Chains A and B, each alone.
Chain A
Amino acid sequence: DIVVTQSPDSLAVSLGERATINCKSSQSVLYSSNNKNYLAWFQQKLGQPPKLLIYWASTRESGVPDRFIGSGSGTDFTLTISSLQAEDVAVYYCQQYYSTPGTFGQGTKVEIK
């Protein structure tokens, strides 16, 4: 199985400031035949199911605000929230869907400082 590790486990950021979450996979999730990274980011607010934010490492899902930015390739990825809003308080997960099982990172809790 591909192991996916996020850092940090939690972070507190002031409103309007940048939040950065890292995600590392134990092997590359870049599929050479289509040059796509099989890496997604999800947001889970308290009491709700996860919500897809980013797929193919950097493609924003429809309706997701442009302050959510995904980047990276191969084994190292980043989710940046460029200007944290109060409604962004949540746990964020990365997931590789390159191979089954589609492993998730352990999650990063984002709070307001």
Chain B
Amino acid sequence: EVQLVQSGAEVKKPGESLQISCRTSGYSFASYWIGWVRQLPGKGLEWMGIIYPGDSDTKYSPSFQGQVTISADRSIDTTYLQWNSLKASDTAMYYCARQRSPFDIWGQGTMVTVSS
């Protein structure tokens, strides 16, 4: 069974750094793009970026380029979403999803709360 399991909820202060993870199982990690999607509280879905773990090719939405970093570790079939300096406006649910074309399997989501 294909599964994407995300790390737990986080509460951080503005200016802090954060890395959340998405651990995959049940398929060849290196062979499918994995994406990250943001959902602000009570709002819609926003495509942030995708990574191909096979060669670490990464594409970002212009809205998120330079704001986050997406990476992957093939040794543990895990992808990451990282912030160097969080803002209150980063408070949201973040989902990872496998792109079979389109996103077919989703993680359960990681809630990130940024508050002073």
Give A residues with C-beta under 8 Å from B. 1, 38, 40, 42, 44, 49-52, 55, 61, 91, 93, 95, 97, 100-107
Give the interface of B toward A (CB within 8 A).
Answer: 35, 37, 44-47, 49-50, 59-63, 95, 97, 99, 101-104, 106-109
Whether B106 contacts A49 by the Cβ 8 Å rule is yes
Closest to A97 in B: B102
Decide: A106 and B44 in contact? CB cutoff 8 A. Answer: yes
Dominant SS among interface residues on chain A: loop
In the complex, which residues of chain B have a beta carbon less than 8 angstroms from the beta carbon of A107? 44-45
- Chain A residues within an 8 Å CB radius of B99: 97
CB atoms of B102 and A49 under 8 A apart: no
Q: Is B95 within 8 A of A50, CB to CB? A: yes
User: Are A49 and B47 neighbours in the complex by a CB distance under 8 Å?
Assistant: no
User: Nearest B residue to A93 by beta-carbon distance?
Assistant: B45
CA distance A103 to B37 in the complex (A): 10
Q: Shortest CB–CB separation between residue A90 and chain B, in angstroms?
A: 13
Q: In whole angstroms, how far apart are the Cα atoms of A51 and B49 in the complex?
A: 19
| A102 CA to B62 CA, complexed, in Å | 11
Most chain-B Cβ atoms within 10 A of its Cβ — which of A93, A95, A97, A101?
A101
